[in-house]
Amino acid sequence: MPQPSERPVIFLVDDDPLVIQLMGRALASLAEVRFATNATEALTRIKDHPPELILLDAQLGNAHGLDVQTQLQQDPLLAPIPVIFVTSHDEEALEVAALEHGAADFITKPIRPARLVARIRTHLENRRLNRQLRLLATQDGLTGVSNRRAFDDALDVHWRQAVRTGEPLSVLMFDVDCFKAYNDHHGHLAGDDCLRRVAQALQQQVLRPADMLARFGGEEFVMLLPGTPEAGALHLAQRVLVAMSDLALPHGHSLAAPYVTVSIGVACAHPATADQSPDRLLQAADHGLYTAKESGRAKACAAPV
Indicate the domain borders of the chain. 9-138, 148-302
Taking a C-beta distance cutoff of 8 angstroms, is the pair 227, 167 a contact?
Answer: yes
Q: Average pLDDT of the chain?
A: 91
- Distance of alpha carbon 159 from alpha carbon 278, whole angstroms: 7
| 120 residue type, one letter | I
Class of CATH domain 148-302: alpha beta
**102-139, pLDDT tens digit by residue?**
888 888 889 999 999 999 999 999 888 888 777 778 89
**158-187, pLDDT tens digit by residue?**
999 899 889 999 999 999 999 999 999 999
Q: Is the pLDDT of residue 94 over 80?
A: no
Q: Is the pLDDT of residue 76 over 90?
A: no
User: In the prediction, which pLDDT does 129 show?
Assistant: 83
Cis peptide leading into residue 76 (ω within 30°): no
pLDDT band (50, 70, 90) for residue 89: low
**219-278, pLDDT tens digit by residue?**
999 999 999 999 999 999 999 999 999 999 999 999 999 999 999 999 999 998 888 999
- Sign of the four-CA dihedral 13, 18, 19, 25: positive
Q: Is the pLDDT of residue 5 over 50?
A: no
Q: Is the pLDDT of residue 4 over 60?
A: no
Catalytic residue among 32, 91, 95, 219, which? 219
Residue with the bigger pLDDT between 37 and 97: it is 37
- β-pairing, 262-269 vs 169-176, is antiparallel
User: In the prediction, which pLDDT does 2 show?
Assistant: 43
- Distance of alpha carbon 147 from alpha carbon 212, whole angstroms: 10
User: In the prediction, which pLDDT does 204 show?
Assistant: 95
User: In the prediction, which pLDDT does 3 show?
Assistant: 45
Burial (CB < 10 A; 0-12, 13-18, 19+), residue 96, is exposed
Q: Is the pLDDT of residue 93 over 60?
A: yes
The H-assigned helical ranges of 15-55 are 17-27, 39-48
Highest mean pLDDT of the ranges 20-24, 77-81, 208-212: 20-24
Prediction pTM value: 0.63
Active site residue 125: no
Topology, domain 9-138: Rossmann fold (3.40.50)
Taking a C-beta distance cutoff of 8 angstroms, is the pair 46, 78 a contact?
Answer: yes
* Of 261, 36, 76, nearest in space to 159 by CA: 76
Per-residue pLDDT, averaged over 29-33, amounts to 95
- Distance of alpha carbon 101 from alpha carbon 113, whole angstroms: 26
